[in-house]
Structure formats: C-alpha cells, structure tokens
Amino acid sequence: MAVETISLPSIDLANFPANLEKLTAAATGHEISMELMTEAWAAASSFSRLSDDIKLRNRDIIYGSGFMSFGDLMPLLESFVVYDATSTADVLAFCSSMEASTINVDVLTVDIASKVAEGLACVGCSFQDWPCTTSLNVFHFAEESIGLDAAELRTDSG
C-alpha cells in the first residue's frame, strides 16, 4: 500500500519579517467573504453588549460549553458557545436564548470544516454528521492590556 505524504505549511515567527507574506496569506487565504467576516464580528460584538442575565442563558451542556465570563483565567475574554453548530435545533436554541436572529450557522459550519480539511489535503472528508461545538469569542483588548494573557491555554471541552 502506497503511503501518501503531505507537507503542512509552517511559518517561522522567529524570522518574522521574512515570513510576513506567509502569515498574511495564512490569515487571509480563505474563501470567507469580507461581508461574512464583518457580520460575524458584529454578531459576536453584539453578544458582549447583552445584559448579564441574557448572557447566562447560554448554559453548559457539557462542562465549558456555555457562556464563559471574565475571570482570573480569562481576564480579557468572553465566550459564547453553540454546543452543536451543525444541529439546526441547537443553533435555534442558542439564538432564542441569546435573543439573536437565526442564520444558517449549521450549514456554514460544515462548509468551513470541509474547506479547512481540503486545505490540509484531507480529501473526501465529510463533516455532515459530525457534532461541532462553535465558540464566539470576544476579546476586550485595551492599551493597558498589552502583554497580558487574553485567555488560559486549553483544549476545547468534549
């Protein structure tokens, strides 16, 4: 059986000025439109302006899957979580609890996951039936927060 090898691109941050173009390409070399990114930014930002009682409606389904507020471990971050963004029911429940309009997050999540897999040379991967926890992270950066950790290092729950 033949073994296929792939090469994942890497960016040497120690040699940053020489790799600026690679870093820019990695951050912008996708097919997500500026319009959609702007809408996503506006939606996430609007959640941070909700009252605390509304934010707390985004409850854990599994540990760490609900609203996470500022604290010692995450002094600059608020996080809102859709437990399974590929499930229309979960997306509708999240939007209802947050008093947000519904959009096709379930379809978009599967599409983005498929494009990421394709970009990593994982041909034929189907994410259609995979649950996919999606976090909307809002970082509250200010001049005085330069040099602070925005959030703890962690892996996603689940």
Position 119 confidence tier, pLDDT thresholds 50, 70, 90? low
Q: Which residue, 97, 96, 125, is CA-closest to 111? A: 125
Instruction: Quote the tokens at residue 132.
Output: 């996919």
**Three-state SS for 144?**
helix
pLDDT digits (tens, 9 = 90+) for 46-62: 877 888 888 877 777 66
Close Cβ partners of 153 (under 8 Å, ≥ 6 residues apart): none
Q: CA-CA distance, 71 to 156, in Å (whole number)? A: 18
pTM: 0.50
Query: Which pLDDT score is estimated for 35?
Result: 82
Q: Which residue, 49, 63, 131, 59, is CA-closest to 96? A: 59
Percent of the chain with pLDDT over 70: 59
